[in-house]
Each structure stands twice: as structure tokens, then as C-alpha cells.
Amino acid sequence: MTDEKMPEMNFEIYIMMISSNVLMYLGKVKNPATGLVECNIPVAKLHIDILRMMREKTRGNLSGTEDALLQATIANLEMRYLEAVQADKANA
């Protein structure tokens, strides 16, 4: 452990943590634990599905900023997911 103070957890940070995992599983960023670029499309989809579930379960309970971030994040990740699926099919 480092002495570095971790930011206080909030909804926006949680969304961004899940988003980072999706990007990692789509092979867009390196896995910080291994330093390798890895691709696991089914796991990326699972994380996107978690965000979709969060959207449904929190409907009407989020601030405008939280809702906008969640909506934009899901839309962006869905597009990147579709691109990855199409690229995977083209390489098969």
C-alpha cells in the first residue's frame, strides 16, 4: 500500500471504474496489472450490461450530472463494443 490518499468513492467514480474495465477488456488500454493489451469481448459486454442494469435500477434517483454521465458512458461503450465485435468477425 502507498501513503497516497484515494479519492472518496462516489457514483461518478464508480461509473468511470467500470468504463475503464470495459475499455481494457475491449483491448483499448493496457491491463494495469500485466502491462499487456488483452481482449475479452464477452467480459466487456458483461460490464456494459452492469451499467445498463444500474441505469434501470437508479432511474429517477440520480442527479442530472450523474444521469448524463451514465447515459453518455453507456452510449460510448456500446459503440466501442460494436466496433470490437465487427473487427473480431472480420478477423475470424
24 falls within a domain: yes
Instruction: Tell me what the mean pLDDT of segment 48-65 comes to.
Output: 97
For residues 62 and 11, is the Cβ–Cβ distance under 8 A? yes
Q: CB within 8 A of 52, min separation 6: which ones?
A: 74
For residues 25 and 44, is the Cβ–Cβ distance under 8 A? yes
Task: Inform me whether the pLDDT recorded for 68 exceeds 80.
Answer: yes
Give me the count of residues in the chain: 92
pLDDT value for 89: 87
Residue pointed to by grid coordinates 467514480: 13
2 falls within a domain: no
For 1-56, what is each residue's pLDDT tens digit? 556 787 788 999 999 999 999 999 999 999 999 999 999 999 999 999 999 999 99
Instruction: Tell me what the mean pLDDT of segment 47-73 comes to.
Output: 97
60 falls within a domain: yes
40 falls within a domain: yes
